[in-house]
Structure 1
Amino acid sequence: MKAIILDTETNKLQGLPIEVAYVPCEVKDGSTSVFADQAFDEYYSVGEPISYGSMAVHHILESDIADKPAHTTFKLPESAQYIIGHNIDYDIEAIKRCGVDTSNLKAICTLALARKVWPEAEAHNISALTYMIFEGIPSVRDQLRSAHNAKQDVLLTGKILKSIVNKLQATDLEHLYQLSEDARIPSIITFGKYRGTAIKDVPSDYKAWLLKQNELDPYLRKALTA
Structure 2
Amino acid sequence: MIPPRIRVVDLETAGDGPHAVCEVGWQDVTQDSSGRWRVDEGRGSLLVNPGRPITPETMAVHHILDADVAGAPYWKDVAGGVLKPEGGVHALAAHRAAFEQRYCTPRFTGGAAWICTWKCALRVWPHLTGFSNQMLRYQRMPEGLVHELGLPAHRALPDAYVTAHHLRDMLDAASLEQLLAWSREPGLLPRVPTGPERGKPWDRLAAEALSTLAQDRDPNIRFSAETELRRRGEAPAAAEAEPAQRTLL
1:20 and 2:24 equivalent?
A: yes
Match of 2:64 among 60, 63, 67: 60
Asked if the contact 1:17/1:44 (under 8 Å) is kept, the reply is yes
Amino acid at match of 1:18: C
Partner of 1:222: none
Q: Residues 134-186 of structure 1: CA distance to partner in whole angstroms, max 9, x if unpaired?
A: 18xxx74x5554111110111101111122223x243xx33432344467467
Amino acid at match of 1:42: L
Partners of 1:218 and 1:152 in 2: CA distance: 25
SS in 2 for 1:38: strand
TM-score, normalising length: structure 1: 0.74
Structure 2: segments with no counterpart, 5+ residues = 190-201, 203-212
Aligned length: 203
Match of 1:198 among 217, 221, 225: 225
Q: Structure 1 residues 115 and 30 mapped into 2: Cα distance closer, same or farther (>3 Å)?
A: farther
Partner of 1:157: 163
Partner of 1:73: 77
Q: Residues 94-120 of structure 1: CA distance to partner in whole angstroms, max 9, x if unpaired?
A: 233xx8344621111100011112223
Partners of 2:5 and 2:218 in 1: CA distance: 43
Asked if the contact 1:4/1:23 (under 8 Å) is kept, the reply is yes
Asked if the contact 2:84/2:108 (under 8 Å) is kept, the reply is no
> Shift of residue 63 of structure 1?
1.1
Partners of 1:190 and 1:50 in 2: CA distance: 38
Q: Structure 1 residues 51 and 40 mapped into 2: Cα distance closer, same or farther (>3 Å)?
A: same
1:115 and 2:122 equivalent?
A: yes
Q: Structure 1 residues 26 and 174 mapped into 2: Cα distance closer, same or farther (>3 Å)?
A: farther
Amino acid at match of 1:3: I
Partner of 1:32: 37
How many percent identity over aligned positions? 22
Structure 1: segments with no counterpart, 5+ residues = 220-226
Q: Structure 1 residues 169 and 54 mapped into 2: Cα distance closer, same or farther (>3 Å)?
A: same
Asked if the contact 1:86/1:111 (under 8 Å) is kept, the reply is yes
Q: Structure 1 residues 103 and 89 mapped into 2: Cα distance closer, same or farther (>3 Å)?
A: farther
Asked if the contact 2:150/2:161 (under 8 Å) is kept, the reply is no
1:46 and 2:50 equivalent?
A: yes
Match of 2:6 among 3, 10, 33: 3
Q: Structure 1 residues 14 and 89 mapped into 2: Cα distance closer, same or farther (>3 Å)?
A: farther
* Bigger relative contact order, structure 1 or 2 (CA pairs below 8 A, ≥6 apart): 1
SS in 1 for 2:11: strand
TM-score, normalising length: structure 2: 0.68
Partners of 2:52 and 2:116 in 1: CA distance: 29
Q: Residues 169-219 of structure 1: CA distance to partner in whole angstroms, max 9, x if unpaired?
A: 43xx33432344467467864844996782236863xx2xx33x6xx2379
> Shift of residue 133 of structure 1?
0.9
The CA RMSD over aligned residues, in Å, is 3.3
1:125 and 2:132 equivalent?
A: yes
SS in 1 for 2:107: coil
